[in-house]
Amino acid sequence: GAVVSQHPSWVICKSGTSVKIECRSLDFQATTMFWYRQFPKQSLMLMATSNEGSKATYEQGVEKDKFLINHASLTLSTLTVTSAHPEDSSFYICSAISRLAGDYEQYFGPGTRLTVT
Amino acid sequence: EDQVTQSPEALRLQEGESSSLNCSYTVSGLRGLFWYRQDPGKGPEFLFTLYSAGEEKEKERLKATLTKKESFLHITAPKPEDSATYLCAVGESGGYQKVTFGTGTKLQVIP
């Protein structure tokens, strides 16, 4: 149980283009999903919190117009990196919290490696 | 602001050599302390949640304990497959579900 998938697992794009990453909870309904980015040998940095049916809450320093987050259903959230630049190259990971009462654990997807050339 | 500090940054053990990883935290009110395992190029894998001081949880060779200021992840007789980065995270009480992660301890178990 509590499986989260991400697609694609890796993507290479040219500078100036946009890339969409999908995060799905496969066997549970996720009221809340989180998006993180991770640089090599560093820990996870929270980018935004996504609640189904409402606007995402972005962490300080994260450009909401550049990193568009949509949480259209209880099983799907998407992160779109708009006008990507090489400095956006990173490992993006999503996580989801189950709707079950008292369940606070975040279950993570396998991550998406983005390379912007 | 919540703070999470993990030590050591890296740990190299011989197979069978037991040890402990430390996670020190500062939070105004603890909702939960979480341990994850992360393999290279993959997302973190959930291990444990601890909610209150004195609580302990075990899973195979791993045992997590919690005090008011820190948590330990004890690894008993580790095997090479236990090699990974172990992440600690804390959640603050108040209904908001985000957590703060530490920088992790990279564990290498040598056969």
State pLDDT tens for residues B18-75: 999 999 999 888 889 999 999 999 999 999 999 999 999 999 999 999 999 999 999 9
For A110, nearest residue in chain B (alpha carbons): B43
| Percent of residues, chain A, with pLDDT higher than 90 | 69
pLDDT of residue B42: 93
Model pLDDT, residue A28: 85
Beta-carbon separation of B97 and A97 below 8 A: yes
Q: What is the mean pLDDT of residues A28-33?
A: 86
| pLDDT for the residue A100 | 61
- Best of B98, B103, B105 to disrupt the A interface (most A CBs within 10 Å) is B98
Mean pLDDT of chain A: 90
Q: Could you tell me which residues come within 8 angstroms of residue A40 by beta carbon, excluding any fewer than 6 positions away?
A: none
Residue reference for tokens 């992790």: B104
pLDDT at res. A105: 79
Beta carbons of A106 and B34 less than 8 angstroms apart? yes
Q: In what order do the strands lie in the sheet with B56-59?
A: B3-7, B19-26, B70-75, B62-66, B56-59
Please, which pLDDT band fits residue B93 given cuts at 50, 70 and 90? confident
What average pLDDT score do residues B81-101 get? Answer: 86
Contact check, Cβ <8 Å, A49/B103: no
Q: Cβ B43–A6 below 8 Å, yes or no?
A: yes
* Amino acid in position A20: K
Q: Using an 8 Å CB-CB cutoff, list chain B residues near A96.
A: none
Q: Does B45 touch chain A (CB under 8 A)?
A: yes
CB proximity list for A77: less than 8 A, separation 6 or greater = A22, A23, A30, A33, A35, A50, A69, A70, A71, A94, A96
B44 shares contact with chain A (CB less than 8 Å) = yes
Q: How far apart, in Å, are the Cα atoms of B109 and each of B11, B73, B83?
A: 8, 15, 5
Answer yes or no: is pLDDT of A24 > 60: yes
Mean pLDDT of B5-29: 95
